[in-house]
Amino acid sequence: MTLVMVFVALAFNLSQVQLAEDRDRFYLVMGLCVIIMLGINYFVLEFLFGYYGKKQIKRISTILPQGIIPTDESEMSFTQLGEKVSELSQRNASEIDTMKGMATYRKEYIGNVSHELKTPLFSIQGYVETLIEGGVENLAIRDKYLDRIDKSVERLLDIVKDLDMLNQFEYGEINLNITSFDLNLLIREIMDMLDLEAEKKEARMQLQTSHTVIMVRADRQRISQVLINLISNAIYYSNRENALITVRTNKLRSKVLVEVADNGMGIKKELLPRIFERFYRVESSRSRRGGGSGLGLAIVKHILEAHNEAVSVHSVYLEGTTFTFMLETEP
């Protein structure tokens, strides 16, 4: 509006100027006035936007998490503010997705724990009720039911002990007892221990190795747990004729590669990422009563991570599964 009034006044005065020299001087004065007015308007607008902009940024900063807006708001422009808010929005979306995933996992975990505990507890309850109602008088029934109660209690204790062990591993409360031992000798001892279990499934076990003796540095007891869990799983899932479980050890410089392979039912590709979760079952049915605590592979994963090693799995459905990990050899 100010510029319009200036132009009107200048145009009126221009009509009064007669001489060319005066007219040129007038044009120069008019141009300077326009430049000065534009400059004044620019600085006035810059001041107003800056002043009110800082107030708005300060107001927004009160509702945003600490650290998003710098202490000196003069360093923050509206463009930067928009980028910060967009970054915060993306971060919140990612955190919400993570929380939803954790909530889903927690629900499944609680359901699995309930299922694993419920099965032996219901068995114990049923056997005890039968004995109370008179079954205790029949020695054959009493002995059979007491034996089943004992096995159910053992399974409950296994679940509780395995859960306690996993929690200790996760919180770093278990110290490894690192010693040197012959890995092949340990594998043979475990195969002898599981021989009866393999015979029941009509499965054969064999050790293939690159060296007769392979000395490793690790916690012997924990590595024994790893091998027992992997070989027991291989035996359990060897539901086919000519079932074969093969343990391979190959020395590779400062490491030894260990493979536990079977030619059993295998695992579907979409299930592989979840098999190391607590209580996760490869089987579609959750009605299985036999087996261990359902925590074997989770324990394997944590024990090897405590040794700064990792376990990997390769499986082809209906053809077989191979678990692989490495250990440090004795120098």
pLDDT, residue 1, reads 53
**Same domain, yes or no: 129 and 246:** no
**Same domain, yes or no: 195 and 315:** yes
Give the integer Cα–Cα distance in Å for 70 and 62.
12
Give the phi and the psi of residue 138 in degrees, each rounded to 5.
-90, 110
Residue 94 or residue 307, greater confidence: 307
**Same domain, yes or no: 205 and 282:** yes
> Is the Cβ–Cβ distance between 184 and 248 less than 8 Å?
no
CATH number, residue 126:
1.10.287.130
**Same domain, yes or no: 210 and 293:** yes
Tokens of 276: 């190391």
Q: Which of 170, 203, 220 is the last residue of a domain?
A: 170
Non-local (6+) Cβ contacts of 219 within 8 A are 176, 177, 178, 179, 303, 306, 307
Non-local (6+) Cβ contacts of 306 within 8 A are 169, 174, 176, 219, 222
Alpha carbon distances (Å) from 137 to 130, 134, 144: 11, 6, 12
Mean pLDDT calculated for residue range 51-62: 59
Nearest to 128 by CA among 113, 150, 156: 150
Would residue 80 count as lying in a domain? no
Q: Please state, for a pLDDT cut of 90, what percent of the chain lies above it.
A: 31
CATH number, residue 259:
3.30.565.10
Residue 1 or residue 103, greater confidence: 103
Would residue 278 count as lying in a domain? yes
In this predicted structure, the answer to whether residue 153 has a pLDDT above a threshold of 70 is yes
Would residue 18 count as lying in a domain? yes
Give the integer Cα–Cα distance in Å for 228 and 236.
12
Element (H, E) at 63: none
Would residue 16 count as lying in a domain? yes
Would residue 79 count as lying in a domain? no
> What digits encode the pLDDT tens for the residues 234-252?
998 877 788 999 999 999 9
**Residue 228: exposure state from Cβ atoms within 10 A (0-12, 13-18, ≥19):** middle
pLDDT, residue 289, reads 47
- Structural domain that includes position 19: 2-73
pLDDT bracket for residue 285 (50, 70, 90): very low
**Same domain, yes or no: 18 and 160:** no
**Same domain, yes or no: 110 and 57:** no
Mean pLDDT calculated for residue range 133-148: 84
**Same domain, yes or no: 133 and 247:** no
**Same domain, yes or no: 132 and 23:** no
pLDDT, residue 86, reads 74
**pTM over 0.95, yes/no:** no
Would residue 11 count as lying in a domain? yes
Give the integer Cα–Cα distance in Å for 47 and 121.
76
In this predicted structure, the answer to whether residue 277 has a pLDDT above a threshold of 90 is no
Residue 9 or residue 237, greater confidence: 237
Residue 46 or residue 291, greater confidence: 46
pLDDT, residue 130, reads 85
Would residue 87 count as lying in a domain? no
Total of domains in the chain: 3
pLDDT bracket for residue 94 (50, 70, 90): confident
**Same domain, yes or no: 210 and 286:** yes
> Is the Cβ–Cβ distance between 194 and 205 less than 8 Å?
yes
In this predicted structure, the answer to whether residue 75 has a pLDDT above a threshold of 70 is no
**Same domain, yes or no: 198 and 320:** yes
Q: How many CB atoms lie within 10 A of CB 43?
A: 10
pLDDT, residue 287, reads 42
- Tokens 């463009």 locate to 79
